Amino acid sequence: TVGCVAVDGEGNLAAATSTGGLVNKMVGRIGDTPIIGAGTYANKLCAVSATGKGEAIIRGTVGREVAALMEYKGLSLNEATSYVVKECTPKFTTGVIAVSASGEVAMSYNTVGMFRACATEDGYTEVGIWAGD
């Protein structure tokens, strides 16, 4: 799976995700990527793209859950993504990238690794695969 989330200087948000699915999946299987609120979600607070085991991500409504925690519980983007990845999906199933309207970036996963990269207007850049990269 691949994905990208972006916010501009005016707080406009967008999310996109694309995938081939799972190796050896059944013909006709639908994963989380095209399911709004699961593998892909964006509103006025945040934009989210997920990767991992689609069935777990759908059950966790991962994308919408991040937005709901920000909207109703007042969590920051990082707090919301960390909570969803740690508490709402089984271990070794989920990776999430997200940005908020205020320009925060979050990249969280409970798998061994996630191919990921981010950048912000203030000059921060990160490219990594495993924890500690």
Which CB, 3 or 65, lies closer to other proteins? 3
For residue 54, the one-letter residue type is G
Which CB, 2 or 73, lies closer to other proteins? 2
Catalytic residue among 1, 17, 81, 93: 1
Annotated active-site residue 81? The verdict is no
Which CB, 3 or 80, lies closer to other proteins? 3
Which CB, 59 or 79, lies closer to other proteins? 59
* Upper half-sphere CA count for residue 28 (Cβ side, 13 Å): 0
Distance of CA 113 to CAs 4, 110, 117, Å? 17, 8, 12
CA 70 to chain centre: 14
Q: Shortest gap between Cβ of 63 and other proteins (angstroms)?
A: 9
How far apart CA 38 and CA 120 sit, in angstroms, is 25
CA 46 to chain centre: 10
For residue 51, the one-letter residue type is T
Q: Which of 69, 106, 112, 65 is nearest to 91 (CA)?
A: 112
Q: Shortest gap between Cβ of 9 and other proteins (angstroms)?
A: 5
Q: Shortest gap between Cβ of 73 and other proteins (angstroms)?
A: 19
Q: Shortest gap between Cβ of 126 and other proteins (angstroms)?
A: 9
Residues designated catalytic: 1
